[in-house]
Amino acid sequence: MLVLADGTLFQGELIGSERGPTATGELVFNTSLSGYQEIITDPSYAGQIITFTYPHIGNYGVNSHDAESRRPFCRGIVVRDLARRPSNWRSMGDLDGYLVEHGVPGITGIDTRRLTLHLRDRGALPGAFGADEMTVRAAAKASTGTEGIDLVAEVTTDAPYMVGDSDAPFHVVAYDFGIKTTILRRLVGVGCHVEVVPASTPAADVLARAPDGVFLSNGPGDPTAVAGAAANVAALIGEVPVFGICLGHQIMGLGLGAETHKLAFGHHGANHPVRNERTGQVEITSQNHNYVVAADTVPGGAAVTHVNLNDGTVEGLAVLGVPAFSVQHHPEAGPGPHDASYLFAEFTALMTKAG
């Protein structure tokens, strides 16, 4: 059974890893119709249990190419119907076996429509699932959200590493707050030799590497809890071109003096409309975050460049007169269209101009 912190109970069947009697975490829902392997392996889900709103999950299997990180960091998954016989020419295995291999617990047979409506009305809630009702209820009651917890420390790399051709036109240092493999592929694809560094790397150490630009990655949880990150980014702005996405966007906002706050249930899906304030064009974006930059706290030295049309939240920032910008959504993702992929070219254009 699955139990939320408010006592709401759902019954289902356990799947995936059987490690430990219960799985605990903050429950959120993702509205994407496909891409479940990429979602499960997105480090931004550290500390959370993912509810898939699409009813059939696992139908095209899993493979060795679509993982976004070295392993899944989510606390578990919740699905309505786990496919028993995956079918796709790229499939190398089934989702249940993948969960077992990587120690990810799951539960199927859940009324995910009812669960999603409950989370929509009550907001993201801590919860737990497992086989013993008393143990699960106690774990759900004791489970906490993501506020004030540095989840980035759980997912960041232990040591720097390099990606791409050393002869590439641009040398980029990327802060790993929970970076995704596709982001690295996109940066390499626009001519970057990327040096990925731990989230705690001081700004002085980054500048000592003499990069052409600095990238601030996505990542999990509360941006105010990532120790030293905002101060490091503040020290980099104006010294070198900076591009941030998702958590990196929020941390850049903090570095500029803005504030962040937690949304009720966040943005988790592949169909979020975002208006580009400079062009008026609406872009369909992929998103995964619970926190946002508060619009009324953006300082005068920065401009809001993108706005979410569902709720009016800040989706992009640019520092006036300085080569630094960020977006809340995931421009590396392909939710069907590739409306936001131009942002990587904008980053290289800034580096070219600065050089």
pLDDT in tens, 9-45: 999 999 999 756 799 999 999 999 999 999 999 999 9
Q: How many domains does the chain have?
A: 2
Quote the pLDDT of residue 262: 98
Determine the distance from the C-alpha atom of residue 109 to the mean position of all C-alpha atoms in its chain, rounded to a whole number.
26
Are 270 and 334 within one domain? yes
Q: Is residue 63 domain-resident?
A: yes
Q: How many percent of the chain have pLDDT more than 70?
A: 99
Distance, in Å, from the CA atom of 92 to the CA atom of 83, rounded to the nearest integer, reads 15
Domain containing residue 14: CATH number: 3.50.30.20
Are 224 and 337 within one domain? yes
Task: Give the domain range for residue 210.
Answer: 152-354
Burial class (CB in 10 A: 0-12, 13-18, 19+), 161: exposed
| Final residue of a structural domain among 113, 142, 171 | 142
Domain containing residue 269: CATH number: 3.40.50.880
Quote the pLDDT of residue 335: 78
Q: Is residue 196 domain-resident?
A: yes
What is the pairing mode between strands 192-198 and 161-163? Answer: antiparallel
Distance, in Å, from the CA atom of 190 to the CA atom of 203, rounded to the nearest integer, reads 24
Q: How confident is the model at residue 119 (pLDDT cuts 50, 70, 90)?
A: very high
Are 135 and 172 within one domain? no
Quote the pLDDT of residue 220: 98
Quote the pLDDT of residue 59: 97
Q: Using one digit for the tens of pLDDT, what is the confidence trace for 289-320?
A: 999 999 999 999 999 999 999 999 999 999 99
**51, 76 in Cβ contact below 8 A?**
no
Q: What is the pTM of this model?
A: 0.96
Q: How confident is the model at residue 334 (pLDDT cuts 50, 70, 90)?
A: confident
Question: What average pLDDT does this structure show over 39-66?
Answer: 97
Catalytic residues: 246, 330, 332
| Final residue of a structural domain among 142, 177, 209 | 142
Evaluate if residue 96 carries a pLDDT over 70.
Answer: yes
Q: Is residue 275 domain-resident?
A: yes
Q: Using one digit for the tens of pLDDT, what is the confidence trace for 213-225?
A: 999 999 999 999 9
The kind and range of the H/E element at 114 are helix 112-122
Task: Say how many residues make up the chain.
Answer: 355
| Final residue of a structural domain among 97, 113, 142 | 142
Quote the pLDDT of residue 274: 97
Q: Is residue 147 domain-resident?
A: no
Question: What average pLDDT does this structure show over 221-248?
Answer: 98
* The pair of three-digit structure tokens given for residue 261, joined into one six-digit string: 């706050």
Q: Using one digit for the tens of pLDDT, what is the confidence trace for 159-170?
A: 999 999 999 999
Quote the pLDDT of residue 20: 60
Are 28 and 166 within one domain? no
Are 323 and 256 within one domain? yes
Quote the pLDDT of residue 218: 98
Are 180 and 298 within one domain? yes
Question: What average pLDDT does this structure show over 241-267?
Answer: 98
Q: How many percent of the chain have pLDDT more than 90?
A: 96
